Amino acid sequence: MELGIIRIIGIVVFLYLVWKNLKDDYQQEKLIAYGWLMVLVFNVAGRVIYGIENWGIWNENPMDWLSFWTRPGFDFIGGYLAIILASWWACRVNGWKIWPFLEDNIGNLLLLLMFFLGDDFLRSRFDMGSGLILLSCAIAYLLGTSVKGKYRSFMWYKSGKKGFVFWAVNTILFVCLAVISTWLSLGWSLVINWTMSLLSLVGLFMLGEIIPGLDINWRKK
């Protein structure tokens, strides 16, 4: 079964944490709608991106896209990037400030990803690829949560703006994935992961006004 019990638990935990952690600052009805939208986007995007990557090999028949049980396949990082983009869109639509929202929610997004990876890791009988990605996510999650609420005391992070945890977590995550991709010579994954790690680091520098000249006015929504 494609959606294993661990994935179902992950979806439930994700929806609960989105509501619990953000309900004091955002309308609960919108948060519930946001949570379900992210679950849908994550599953659809992960499936579609995997199909595109394996075009002509995996999806010989159009019905293969819908054959979740007989034709498994999922791009976890593609799904993760999709829900980050969808979260940005949701912020604009709902009038939420982007960086505070992403900072407060990045842990929930990572947990959803880790539950799916954990399910795949177990069902694949400890596939090394899923295991290494899961380890990278765990490292990013632990380091990110360890500095949450403390980074404003960092002298080098001049602006002190919310968003530090979001960019820091993604920098750590994609650096780990880039190192793994380099080690395993994974081609396009290597390029994508190094690019994303660089973009995340630049985003951190720009938001924190770390380097003079990179200070720009971020639009607050």
What is the per-residue burial (b if ≥16 Cβ within 10 Å, else e) of 118-127? bbbbebeeee
In a domain, 220, yes or no: no
Distance between CA 179 and CA 189 in Å, rounded? 10
In a domain, 50, yes or no: yes
CA geometry: angle at 201 spanning 196 and 202, to 5°?
95
Mean pLDDT of the region 169-179: 94
In a domain, 167, yes or no: yes
In a domain, 59, yes or no: yes
In a domain, 71, yes or no: yes
Q: How many domains are contained in the chain? A: 1
The pLDDT of residue 217 is 46
Distance between CA 79 and CA 48 in Å, rounded? 9
More confident residue, 126 or 103: 103
Distance between CA 108 and CA 63 in Å, rounded? 32
Percent over 70 (pLDDT), the chain: 85
Range of the domain at 79: 5-208
Of 1-5, 84-88, 172-176, where does mean pLDDT reach its minimum?
1-5
H helix intervals, 74-125: 76-94, 98-123
Pull the structure tokens for residue 108. Answer: 């929930």
Distance between CA 164 and CA 210 in Å, rounded? 12
